[in-house]
Structure formats: C-alpha cells, structure tokens
Amino acid sequence: MEFSTKFINKLKYAKKLLFFTGAGISAESGISTFRGVDGIWNKMKPEELASIDGFMKNPDIVWQWYQHRRQIVHDSKPNAGHLSIAELENYYDVTVVTENVDNLHRRAGSSKIFELHGNIERNYCIDCKAPFNDTKLNEESGNPKCKECGGRIRPDVVWFGEMLPQDQFSGGQSSAESSDICFVVGTSGLVYPAAYIPIEAKQAGAFIVEINIDYTEMSRFADESFIGKSASILTELLAEVKRIKATT
Ligand code: OAD
C-alpha cells in the first residue's frame, strides 16, 4: 500500500495514537462480526440474547450462548492487526478504545485499553455484583449462581439498553481529546455512544484514518480511508512507522 505524503508527515510528528476498534479487527482471528452477511445479528435475535429481559426469561440459553462465544474467543488468537497495534507502543503513546469484548488486544500485549462494551471473559452477580470467574468452558451447563448471595451470574458485557461502563467511556473520551491520529478500525460506526469517540477525536483536531474492508458511516469523518483487511493494512502501517523512525 502506498501511503500519502500527508499521512506520512502526520506519522512523523504524531505522539499520541488512538485506535478505535470494532468486530472487523477480530474477523481475521475467526470471530464473527455483528452485521453484514455472516453477522451474528443476522442469525440471532439481539433482544433475546443480549438484553437483561432476554436473560431473565431464558437464563440457561443466554448463558450457554455466551459460553459458546467464550469458547470461540478462547480458541482464537490475536492476529497481525492486534499485534501491530501493540508493537506501535515502541514508537508512540498508544491507546486502544474497543467495542470488542474478546480480550484480544490485551492478549496481543496492548497496555492501555478501554473496553466500552465489557469483556466476555469476566462475569458478575446481578444481585451483589461480586465478580464470578470460576466458569468452566462447558457449553452444556446451565446458568450458575453466585457463591456469596445465590444471585444469577451474567457475563460482564454491555447489553442493549444498558449504560456503558462510565470509567471506560470517559477514559476513551480523554484519549480521543488528546490524540494526534485516530484510527477507526473494523467498525460499522453505527452503535452509540461508542461511535462518539472518533467524532470527539475529530472535533478536538485529530487526523482520522479509517481502516475497513468497506466504506462506513464513519467514512465521512475520515481524512484518509484505507480499504482492505485490517491485519495486512496494520502490518504495513507498522512497517512504514519503522522506516520513518529509522530515518528521523
Ligand atoms: P459490525 O459487525 O457492525 O461491523 C464490523 C465492521 O468490520 C464492518 O464495517 C465491516 O466492513 C468491517 N470488517 C469486517 N471484516 C474486516 C476486516 N478483516 N478488516 C477490516 N474491517 C473489517 O461490528 P461493530 O461495529 O464492532 O455491541 O459493532 C458495534 C457493536 O454492535 C458491537 O460492539 C456490539 C454490536 O451490537 C454490543 O454488544 C453492545
């Protein structure tokens, strides 16, 4: 990929990079996205599987579905996209703000991560909020109960109609406000308030770069759009940064 002179200059002088990531960055790790032809929400009903009402109606089914997704995440690995972002910490102050719950940025080695929609590898009690991390990856077993109070255990992910974790969102906002370049990677940009993050970065003066296999709702905010798979584009980005840093 041929990067523009304008973008290369931005890379030369930037100090803080923000990566706002969505399901597309993990697609090449084998984790399904939500929308599009093979998207999860084309096959499953979000109101039944990703809402507190759906959970209270069918706790075992919802639990088993999350156990199944947890197994997929457990069996997958960070791809070259996640790994390139982690390695960019050798050259910049890098923050990751992700809509993903798959923990792959952490496993790739990124150190500053804000998880706007939670983390599928954690659980907590709906009554006393105690964390519950003693879950075997057994897709057949039903919804466990809290050892402290007997309440139902739910995954620590944000369901429809729920607030985002305030500390994660405000941490993401502060990073957006101070970033020099904001990369918007593998997200349809349709889900708010998460999608405010790159918009706030733009308003604060950041250069916006979209990386996606297609144009999206976010494209109109982008100063540059790189169309292609994120693993290869981020690999090329890292190589370009290494070239720049070797000569400056
Ligand atoms: P979507 O499924 O809405 O969008 C995935 C995006 O990734 C699309 O724009 C694809 O074009 C792009 N894409 C797919 N493969 C790619 C690849 N290899 N390289 C680059 N881009 C690729 O997923 P999100 O935008 O993450 O929320 O969805 C946002 C939220 O909607 C999720 O966090 C989830 C869902 O409902 C909650 O669960 C709260």
Can you tell me the mean pLDDT for 140-146?
86
What are the extents of the domains in the chain? 1-31+78-117+164-248, 33-75+123-157
Residue 138 pLDDT level (bands cut at 50, 70, 90): low
| Residues forming beta bridges with residue 123, ordered by sequence position | 155
Report the pLDDT value the prediction gives residue 45, as an integer from 0 to 100. Answer: 83
What is the fold of 1-31+78-117+164-248? Rossmann fold (3.40.50)
Q: How far is the CA of 44 from the CAs of 35, 40, 230, in angstroms?
A: 11, 6, 26
Report the pLDDT value the prediction gives residue 51, as an integer from 0 to 100. Answer: 94
- Rounded to the nearest whole angstrom, what is the distance from the C-alpha of residue 3 to the centroid of ligand 1? 24
Report the pLDDT value the prediction gives residue 71, as an integer from 0 to 100. Answer: 92
- Rounded to the nearest whole angstrom, what is the distance from the C-alpha of residue 186 to the centroid of ligand 1? 6
50 closest CA partner among 158, 131, 143, 142: 158
- CA 40 to ligand 1: nearest atom: 2
Can you tell me the mean pLDDT for 231-235?
98
What is the fold of 33-75+123-157? SIR2/SIRT2 'Small Domain' (3.30.1600)
Report the pLDDT value the prediction gives residue 40, as an integer from 0 to 100. Answer: 78
Long-range contacts, stretch 204-207, CB < 8 angstroms, 24+ apart: 204/176, 204/177, 204/178, 204/179, 206/18, 206/176, 206/179, 206/180, 206/181, 206/182, 207/7, 207/10, 207/14, 207/180, 207/181, 207/182
- Strand 118-125 relative to strand 153-157, pairing: antiparallel
- Rounded to the nearest whole angstrom, what is the distance from the C-alpha of residue 71 to the centroid of ligand 1? 20
- CA 211 to ligand 1: nearest atom: 20
Question: What are 201-212's pLDDT values in tens digits?
Answer: 999 999 999 999
Greatest extent of the chain over all pairs of C-alpha atoms, in Å: 61
- State the average pLDDT for the chain: 94
Evaluated on CA atoms 105, 78, 50, 68, the torsion sign reads negative
- Rounded to the nearest whole angstrom, what is the distance from the C-alpha of residue 190 to the centroid of ligand 1? 9
Secondary structure (3-state) at 94: strand
Active site positions, annotated: 117
Share of the chain above pLDDT 90, in %: 87
Residue among 188, 221, 230 to mutate when testing ligand 1 (max atoms within 8 A of CB): 188
- CA 21 to ligand 1: nearest atom: 26
Of all protein residues, the one whose alpha carbon is nearest to atom 16 of ligand 1 is 24
Can you tell me the mean pLDDT for 184-195?
97
**pLDDT above 70 for 115:** yes
Can you tell me the mean pLDDT for 117-137?
90
Report the pLDDT value the prediction gives residue 135, as an integer from 0 to 100. Answer: 67
Give the span between the Cα atoms of 122 and 103, in whole angstroms. Answer: 10
- Please tell me the least confidently modeled range out of 36-50, 57-71, 121-135, 154-168: 36-50
Give the span between the Cα atoms of 185 and 174, in whole angstroms. Answer: 19
Q: pTM for the whole thing?
A: 0.96
